[in-house]
């Protein structure tokens, strides 16, 4: 089934070309991508986080935390399809109370039917400027989501996107190859693990803090900036 025109940007051909170019679905994702998605769930206190790639007619979920299996869904049934159209992070703070009047109405209905009350996503903006997908948070309960939290989610998505592009560069460049990516991936893995430990130290010992404490968001932004710089070396 073709995606509704309201969910298809005018630059769709170029966006799909970018999705094909980075070819993230060709091999199993490295564990560091799972670690980044798990960090998102940890920081924002949500049971489920994932990366969604928006293809021509369906949305695929190659990296997940809190969900063993997420089969692909038609594009009009996934909030990720409208999220890629936004310039930054989007949040549905109370899905059940959201008006079903826009292009995202079928996706909102599907999310509520699956028992979800909250959804937030930040675009995976690749170096060519196109959004090939989103980094998402989802949970059963409505939740506030501040501008500062949105910026932190965007920073996480940015690191994921840069890591994806560096992976592609290494694997497609004979002078670099899998060996160079393994070295970079190892550094990134160590950095994400350390950041996760530091975040955990600042979170309440039981339950999730909503909104995410400012100290956690500040630490996250600083850590992500370090990871980003490391990927550019």
* Strands in the chain per DSSP E: 48-54, 58-65, 73-74, 90-92, 118-125, 131-139
Q: What is the pLDDT of residue 210?
A: 83
Distance separating alpha carbons of residues 103 and 161, to the nearest angstrom:
26
* Residue 1: band (very low, low, confident or very high) from pLDDT cuts 50, 70, 90: low
- Domains by residue range for the chain, with CATH: 5-232 (3.30.450.40)
The β-bridge partners of 133 are 53, 124
Q: What is the pLDDT of residue 2?
A: 73
- Helix boundaries (H) for 49-140: 80-83, 105-113
Assess whether pLDDT exceeds 70 at residue 110: yes
Q: What is the pLDDT of residue 207?
A: 64
Q: What is the pLDDT of residue 62?
A: 96
pTM of the model: 0.95
Percent of the chain surpassing pLDDT 70: 98
pLDDT tens digits for range 59-95:
999 999 998 888 999 999 999 999 999 999 999 999 9
Q: What is the pLDDT of residue 74?
A: 95
Assess whether pLDDT exceeds 90 at residue 217: yes
Assess whether pLDDT exceeds 80 at residue 209: no
pLDDT tens digits for range 7-46:
999 999 999 999 999 989 888 899 999 999 999 999 999 9
């Amino acid at each position: 089934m073709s995606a509704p025109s309201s969910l298809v940007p005018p630059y769709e051909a170029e966006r799909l070309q970018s999705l094909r170019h980075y070819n993230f679905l060709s091999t199993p994702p490295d564990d560091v991508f799972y670690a980044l998605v798990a960090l998102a769930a940890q920081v924002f206190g949500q049971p489920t986080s994932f990366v969604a790639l928006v293809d021509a007619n369906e949305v695929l979920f190659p990296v997940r935390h809190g969900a063993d299996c997420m089969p692909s869904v038609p594009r009009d049934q996934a909030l990720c399809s409208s999220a890629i159209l936004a310039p930054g992070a989007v949040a549905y703070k109370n899905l059940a109370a959201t008006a079903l009047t826009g292009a995202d109405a079928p996706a909102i209905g599907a999310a509520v039917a699956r028992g979800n009350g909250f959804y937030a996503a930040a675009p995976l903006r690749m170096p060519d400027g196109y959004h090939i997908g989103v980094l998402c948070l989802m949970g059963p309960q409505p939740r506030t989501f501040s501008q500062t939290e949105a910026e932190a989610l965007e920073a996480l998505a940015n690191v994921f996107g840069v890591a994806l592009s560096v992976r592609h560069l290494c694997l497609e460049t004979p002078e670099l190859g899998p060996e160079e990516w393994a070295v970079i991936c190892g550094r990134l893995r160590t950095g994400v693990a350390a950041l996760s430990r530091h975040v955990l130290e600042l979170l309440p010992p039981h339950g999730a803090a909503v909104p995410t404490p400012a100290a956690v968001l500040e630490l996250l932004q600083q850590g992500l900036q370090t990871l980003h710089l490391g990927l550019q070396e």
